[in-house]
Amino acid sequence: MVPIKKIPTENLEQIEWPAEEEGELAIDLYETENELVLKSAIGGVKAENLDISITNDMITITGERQLEEKEEIKKNYYQECFWGRFSRAVILPKEVKSDLATAVIKNGILTIRLPKAGDNKKQGIKIIEEE
């Protein structure tokens, strides 16, 4: 289980925003009946190298994928994988219960489940005319 930091909305200035030279994490975000689900392929990243911060309407994921080559590379022919720090901040389409969010890494896929706070459905109100 990956730990998730809960940040109150009024403390957004405490989020450590990424430096300029970081990779951006690719994600899938979808909605089910009761939750938002965020998935990302993060093969080669250990849970201790991930940081997940969440407010009721925003999630920030930062981490690092380290290249563990012991030998000196003489020449690269292809280098398409990103190695180093990465991050992603996403404004969520619905408000979530950040204190109930969970994150799991399985087979190189990070899955974050964000229970929805409830629909803010528009309701009409009855107007009473006073005499």
Q: How confident is the model over 87-104, as a mean pLDDT? A: 91
**Per-residue pLDDT for 80 more than 90?**
no
Average model confidence (pLDDT) across the chain: 81
* DSSP per-residue string spanning 1-38: ---EEE--GGGGGGS-PPPSS-EEPP-EEEE-SSEEEE
> Domain 4-9+21-67+82-115's class?
mainly beta
**Per-residue pLDDT for 90 more than 90?**
yes
* Share of the chain residues as helix, strand and coil, in percent rounded to the nearest 5: 10, 40, 50
pLDDT confidence of 23, banded at 50, 70, 90?
confident
pTM of the model: 0.72
Q: List, for residues 104-122, the tens digit of each pLDDT value.
A: 999 999 999 999 987 655 5
Instruction: Return the domain boundaries, the chain.
Output: 4-9+21-67+82-115
Give CA separation, 25 vs 46, 64, 97, 100, in Å.
15, 10, 23, 23
**Per-residue pLDDT for 85 more than 60?**
yes
